[in-house]
């Protein structure tokens, strides 16, 4: 199942490459917390609806609540997705960047 999820994530991120924004835009706000290199290689996408993998095996594994949860943002690898109304929410950006670190350090 992990391979199916990873493929879904890779396809999602590829399909949004043309609209993703680099997090280097937060260089001044997050100075001392995240390096310039990290922010340069991390991205966010503003969306109307948070994308989640509606893979039947996830629901069977008891993750239906996660799939149905109304989140403000979600991170997949080096890219996070935030709702349009949250684009100026620096706390949310900071929070999602923590998840990017987790993806890099812990892997899927």
Question: How do residues 8-23 score in pLDDT, each as one tens digit?
Answer: 999 999 999 999 999 9
Range 39-57 average pLDDT: 94
DSSP for 15-66, please give it: HTTTT-EEGGGGTTTTTTTS-HHHHHT-EEEEESS------HHHHHTT-HHH
**pLDDT for 81-94, tens place per residue?**
999 999 999 999 99
pTM confidence score:
0.93
Report the C-alpha gap between 98 and 100 in whole angstroms: 5
Say what percent of the chain tops pLDDT 90. Answer: 80
Report the C-alpha gap between 67 and 73 in whole angstroms: 13
No. of helices (H) and no. of strands (E), the chain: 5, 4
């Amino acid at each position: 199942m992990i391979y199916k999820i990873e493929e879904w994530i890779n396809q999602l991120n590829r399909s949004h490459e043309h609209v993703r924004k680099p997090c280097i835009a937060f260089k001044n706000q997050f100075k001392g917390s995240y390096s310039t290199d990290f922010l340069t290689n991390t991205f966010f996408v503003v969306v109307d609806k948070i994308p989640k993998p509606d893979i039947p095996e996830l629901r069977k594994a008891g993750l239906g609540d996660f799939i149905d949860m109304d989140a403000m943002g979600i991170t997949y690898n080096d890219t996070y997705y935030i709702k349009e109304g949250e684009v100026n929410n620096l706390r949310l950006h900071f929070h999602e960047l923590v998840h990017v670190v987790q993806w890099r350090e812990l892997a899927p």
